[in-house]
Structure 1
Amino acid sequence: MERQGVLYISHGSRVPEATKEAMECIQLAMKKIDIPLQEIVYIEISKPSIEEGIELLVSQGALRIAVVPVLLLSAGHYYKDIPYELEKAKERFPNIYFCLGKPIGVQDQLIDILAERIHEKQTTVSPDIRILLVGRGSRNDETRRDIESIADKLKRKLQVQSIDTGYLAALEPRFEQALHKLLSETNSPVIVVPYLWFTGILMQSMQKKIDSLNSDGKEVILCRQIGNHPAIVAALINRVMETAEFNVNEYFYQGV
Structure 2
Amino acid sequence: MQAILYVSHGTRKRSGRKEVYSSLAPVIKKVNSPLQKICFLQFSRPTLLEGIEMCVKEGATTIIIVPLLLLKADHATYDIPQAIISARRKYPFIQFIYEEPLGEEEKLIDALYEALLMKQFLEVPQRHVLLVGRGGRSPQVKQHLIQVSERLQRKLPETEITICFLYGHKPHFQDIVNEATEKQRFILPFLLFDGRLFASLTQAAKKKGWILCDTLGSSAHVRDIVTKRINRWLTDKEKERGEVYVITNDK
The offset of 1:126, in angstroms, is 5.9
Does the residue aligned with 1:80 lie in a helix, a strand or coil? helix
Identity %: 31
The offset of 1:159, in angstroms, is 2.1
Paired residues of 2:190 and 2:215 also in contact (CA < 8 A): yes
Which position in structure 2 is the counterpart of 1:20? 18
Cα–Cα, structure 1 residues 255 and 12, in superposed 2: closer, same or farther, change >3 Å? farther
TM-score by length of 2: 0.90
Cα–Cα, structure 1 residues 126 and 209, in superposed 2: closer, same or farther, change >3 Å? closer
Alpha-carbon distance in structure 2 between the residues aligned to 1:102 and 1:245? 18
For the pair 1:230 / 2:228, whether they are aligned, the reply is no
The partner residue of 1:97 within 85, 95, 98 is 95
The offset of 1:252, in angstroms, is 2.5
The offset of 1:179, in angstroms, is 3.3
Unaligned runs of 5+ in 1: 215-219
Cα–Cα, structure 1 residues 92 and 11, in superposed 2: closer, same or farther, change >3 Å? same
Cα–Cα, structure 1 residues 67 and 251, in superposed 2: closer, same or farther, change >3 Å? same
Letter in 2 for 1:179: V
Which position in structure 2 is the counterpart of 1:201? 196
Letter in 2 for 1:75: A
Alignment size in residue pairs? 245
The partner residue of 2:27 within 26, 29, 48 is 29
Unaligned runs of 5+ in 2: none
Cα–Cα, structure 1 residues 210 and 169, in superposed 2: closer, same or farther, change >3 Å? same
Matches within 5 A, 1:1-256: 3-124=1-122, 128-181=126-179, 183-184=180-181, 186=182, 188-214=183-209, 220-243=210-233, 252-254=247-249
Letter in 2 for 1:208: Q
- The root-mean-square deviation of aligned C-alpha atoms, in Å, is 2.2
The offset of 1:51, in angstroms, is 1.3
Alpha-carbon distance in structure 1 between the residues aligned to 2:139 and 2:79? 17
